[in-house]
Structure 1
């Protein structure tokens, strides 16, 4: 355990850790943008499926699967947003 903590301490002292955190912070908006696009596409697909006149069992399963996928995408987007906020707050508290 001391090897990991020594490595982390060394990274913090040299600024390497801060550089990695800054790189990750820069990536967050791109990740959020991709998740937003994915969510929009999923919503569009759900709407197209609902508007489709074929109301069979497979059609309903597809809609259910898409809605489940949408919930997962929203959860991931929320987690990414929260992580970004947490990282930024943490970085600012270290400055």
Structure 2
């Protein structure tokens, strides 16, 4: 049992490491309110386009977000259900409100 818990703990730590970045948290705050295009995310978060691309790639690689393509525009959304739950808790404790 301890071995299985250790394996899961390692995976969870990696998952949380993907979230533990101020810029990625800003992106996830925006996405917790609904799908956003890359341009919308840049405008809302004021993260530079090159940094935005790197953060979205990291979130995608971790299975936290997914995207759909509409012609030349990429629209991102949160794909991991645990992230939506975590973001709701973070909103309550640190933003004073729940996401819409």
* Fold similarity call, TM over 0.5: no
More strand by share: 2
The structure that is helix-richer by fraction is 1
If you compute each CA radius of gyration, which structure gives the higher value, 1 or 2?
1
Structure showing greater relative contact order (alpha-carbon pairs closer than 8 Å, 6 or more residues apart): 1
